[in-house]
Chains A and B, each alone.
Chain A
Amino acid sequence: MTLIVVRDLTKEYDGRKLRALDRVSLDVASGEWLALMGPSGSGKTTLLNLIAGLDTPTSGTVVVDGAPVHALDEAERARFRRDTVGVVFQHFHLIPYLTAVENVMLAQYFHSLADEAEAADALVRVGLGDRLHHRPPELSGGEQQRVAIARALINQPKLVVADEPTGNLDADNEAVVLETFQKLHAQGHTILLVTHDPRVGALADRRISLDHGRIMSAGLEMDFDNARWKRGERQS
């Protein structure tokens, strides 16, 4: 079953001649883990934002789980994000004055009702049972990103989008976060993950590479031994 259907998606930012995204078409199956790759400035974040309903395209269509995201008005997009999408950012974007559990509860509050026990449970599942009442500045980068993942998942979204979620992490934290994504994948979540790290991309079911706003290659084979990485052996 196809969850995401993207057709001729184009984005021009105000005052820019170049297209950040140029007639991109793409299908993503339900439960699939897709890695968006490519050099900096190639349009990865732009594509992710358009699919997640965080921004609106100049032209083209995005349909996610039957919803025409490109055509929704602001209130409908807010509802779409709330019900269908969980977002994980490179810079975590936790609210610094809320504790870990409160950051998760904020997403619940916007969705329906804040439930502290359930939020705490979500944090336990990402291994943060002893960090519930810490504030982001008191947490390591990996811990912050795991809070962000718990927050993204708390409302059971059909789609999880992550923009370079390990880009700001050291090797140990990167491993923990990637493990979390693998668990999500195993549970059947659809994952859209932006990275320019081939080792991270290798964990996905499929990779597409963007360049200057266009899709260059799909399912590109990487010079990377996924099995070795999973055994915990570090690549050079």
Chain B
Amino acid sequence: MLWRLVRRSMRERRAHVALTLLAVAVTAALATALLGVTFAIRERMARELRAFGANILIVPRSAPLAVTVGSLRYVPSQEEAYLEESELARLKTIFWRHNIVAFAPFLSRTVEVAGQRALLVGTWFDKRVDVPVPSRRFSFASGASREVAAVEGGWNTGLEALVPSWQVDGRWVREGSGGALVGRALAARLAIEPGQTLEVELEGRRARFPVHGLLRTGGVEEDQIFVELAAAQALFGRPGRVEKVQVSALVTPDNALAVRARTVGPESLPPSEYETWYCTPYLDSIVFQIEEALTGARGTAIRQVAEAEQAFLGKVTGVFVLSSALGLATAGLGVAATTARAIFERRAEVGLMKALGGDRRQIARLLLVEAGVTGLGGGIVGALLGVALTRVIGLWVFATPIESHVLLLLAILGVAPGVALLGALGPLRAALAVPAATTLSAE
């Protein structure tokens, strides 16, 4: 009988029910889309920062004057300067060794491929690194010393760990396989596919690489060729040499001490502050420790870009969350007002139901079930609209559709009837307070 009554009542007031449903649906759609997009931005932000990967660039102290043209790079040979590949394992012996998440060395030259020019990059894909020092004691001017535990045994790192967001059609190159990854754009120009062999030439020397995969990065790497470092060193005639290393390190955000150390130079800090600075994983102190570890190395913090980006995305997210909250509050009030009006208009009916012997609980149940059903209906419609809206916004902002989280949708389906019920509560109390006689003797 309850459902029969609710059905009849809703059919009777279908215009009003439709309006309420619309209000709930719009609210729910807004909530789904705004929250969905906000989550997606946060997720993408995190992934992009991870994709950016390296936050430290290590180059030789006497860095060569390199000329970069698009994806190509030219180095005058008399100005060449290098880092030693054999020293790289020392990166895992510094004080903040455990914060070095990944790194990869690079050595590159522009080569000829089937009559075209392309940058051939030698690197580590997933290289086994044997860490030389078991454990190490760091002593400070204050007399304090700290022991840092060893990195157990060996450790694998390289491009795969440094830039996990890069996508490979085919497979990654295994160390020692002699294979190559070819940028997607270059592969298209060369009409080459995984499984085929790439022949490159540099100053009369030739090398052949079986293509294991095509690389999708969304950047200049799609015009480049990646091979194992040793193969590149052999082709370029530079055994054991590396021109730069990119490092991904977990760092603490800068504070006043970090800023002071950067302006005056860490050596000018009082000993105790120096110790604190050294023993805090600031980007600068890790760079400092890397420079200590590698001969002739200069570290650069790739900070500005990442931080500016992060700050910007943070603000964008903030604006989104704020406007979501305001939009939802407004829409929620609208829903509550519509529900409130519906119940206000039914005071006479409530009075009659009381006269017929209905108690507060029975009458409240009738009205609340109706409000809840309307809210749930609106929530379902709104969630569906929201899923579509989220996809559209995703296509517009990121050029890829954003999928809505199931949990978010479930939450919306829970909250939508909740808002309608909340809106119903106030006027319901008022309506139930009306004595039966008053509404009935009114003529």
Q: Contact residues of A with B, CB < 8 Å? A: 45, 49, 52, 54-56, 74-75, 78-79, 81-83, 85, 87, 89-91, 93, 95-98, 102, 105-111, 113-114, 151, 155
Chain B nearest Cβ from A165, distance in angstroms: 13
Interface residue B356 (Cβ < 8 Å from any Cβ of A): yes
Report the nearest B residue to A116, measured CB to CB: B1
Could you list 19 examples of A-B contacts with CB < 8 Å? A49-B441, A74-B360, A78-B359, A81-B355, A81-B357, A82-B358, A85-B357, A87-B356, A93-B440, A95-B352, A97-B8, A98-B5, A105-B1, A106-B1, A106-B5, A106-B353, A110-B356, A110-B362, A151-B356
Residues of A within 8 A of B61 (CB): none
Residues of A within 8 A of B4 (CB): 102
8 Å CB contact of A97 from B11, B358, B362, B436: B11
Residues of B within 8 A of A81 (CB): 354-357, 436
Contact B437 A54 (CB under 8 A): yes
Interface residues of B in 1-25 (CB under 8 A from A): 1-2, 4-5, 8-9, 11-12
- With contacts A54-B440, A102-B4, A110-B359 known, what are 16 further pairs, Cβ within 8 A? A54-B435, A54-B437, A55-B438, A56-B435, A74-B360, A78-B359, A79-B357, A79-B359, A81-B355, A82-B359, A93-B355, A97-B12, A102-B5, A106-B5, A109-B1, A114-B1
8 Å CB contact of B357 from A107, A113, A114: A107
Chain B nearest Cβ from A184, distance in angstroms: 18
Measured CA separation A111–B359 after assembly (Å): 10
Residues of B within 8 A of A54 (CB): 354-355, 435-437, 440
Report the nearest B residue to A79, measured CB to CB: B359
8 Å CB contact of A55 from B8, B9, B352, B436: B436
Measured CA separation A87–B356 after assembly (Å): 7
Interface residue B193 (Cβ < 8 Å from any Cβ of A): no
Residues of A within 8 A of B355 (CB): 52, 54, 81, 87, 93
Measured CA separation A109–B3 after assembly (Å): 12
Interface residue B443 (Cβ < 8 Å from any Cβ of A): yes
Chain B contact residues, majority secondary structure: helix
8 Å CB contact of A102 from B8, B358, B359, B441: B8
Interface residue B349 (Cβ < 8 Å from any Cβ of A): yes
Measured CA separation A90–B8 after assembly (Å): 25
Measured CA separation A97–B1 after assembly (Å): 14
Measured CA separation A54–B357 after assembly (Å): 10
Report the nearest A residue to B432, measured CB to CB: A74
Measured CA separation A97–B10 after assembly (Å): 9
Measured CA separation A91–B348 after assembly (Å): 13
Q: Contact residues of B with A, CB < 8 Å? A: 1-2, 4-5, 8-9, 11-12, 349, 352-360, 362, 435-438, 440-441, 443
Chain B nearest Cβ from A33, distance in angstroms: 21
Residues of A within 8 A of B9 (CB): 97
- Residue among A75, A90, A95 with max Cβ neighbours from chain B (10 Å): A95
Chain B nearest Cβ from A85, distance in angstroms: 8
Report the nearest A residue to B435, measured CB to CB: A55
Measured CA separation A94–B150 after assembly (Å): 86
Contact B5 A78 (CB under 8 A): no
Report the nearest A residue to B358, measured CB to CB: A110
Contact A78 B352 (CB under 8 A): no
Residues of A within 8 A of B435 (CB): 54-56
Measured CA separation A90–B442 after assembly (Å): 11
Residues of B within 8 A of A87 (CB): 355-356
Chain A nearest Cβ from B147, distance in angstroms: 75
- Residue among A90, A97, A151 with max Cβ neighbours from chain B (10 Å): A97
Measured CA separation A155–B355 after assembly (Å): 13
Report the nearest A residue to B354, measured CB to CB: A78
Chain B nearest Cβ from A104, distance in angstroms: 10
Measured CA separation A82–B1 after assembly (Å): 17
What 8 pairs between A and B have smallest CB-CB spacing?
A82-B357, A97-B12, A114-B1, A55-B437, A78-B359, A49-B437, A54-B437, A110-B358
Chain A nearest Cβ from B9, distance in angstroms: 6
- Residue among B349, B354, B356, B358 with max Cβ neighbours from chain A (10 Å): B356
Chain B nearest Cβ from A135, distance in angstroms: 10
Residues of B within 8 A of A55 (CB): 435-438
Contact A109 B5 (CB under 8 A): yes
Report the nearest B residue to A97, measured CB to CB: B12
Measured CA separation A97–B441 after assembly (Å): 21
Report the nearest A residue to B436, measured CB to CB: A54
